């Protein structure tokens, strides 16, 4: 067929298979994990709740103000 392997794709595939072995924990990783797992969802929740409070009207009062 004339298909040739691309060495860059093969290297990427190999690294992808051993990601958990190559992962190291340092301060920048911890900050990224905390930001994406804790801070971002909390910010989205409060922003959504504030928008619903402004524009939700009767439905917001029925759900959240019981």
Per domain, the residue ranges of the chain are 25-66
What pTM, to 2 d.p., does this model score?
A: 0.56
Q: What share of the chain is helix, strand, coil (3-state, %, to 5)?
A: 75, 0, 25
Q: Is residue 4 left, alpha or beta, with left meaning phi > 0 and alpha meaning psi from -120 to 50?
A: beta
Q: Does 18 score more than 60 pLDDT?
A: yes
pLDDT band per the 50, 70, 90 thresholds, residue 64: low
Structural contact between residues 60 and 53, judged by C-beta atoms closer than 8 angstroms:
yes
Mean pLDDT of the chain: 84
Mean pLDDT of the region 25-51: 91
Residue of 26, 8, 5 whose CA lies nearest to 16: 8
């Amino acid at each position: 067929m004339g298909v040739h392997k691309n060495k860059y794709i093969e290297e990427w595939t190999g690294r992808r298979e051993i990601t958990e072995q190559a992962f190291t924990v340092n301060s920048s990783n911890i900050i990224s994990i905390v930001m994406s797992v804790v801070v971002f969802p909390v910010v989205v929740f409060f922003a959504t709740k504030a928008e619903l409070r402004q524009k939700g009207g009767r439905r917001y009062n029925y759900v959240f103000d019981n």
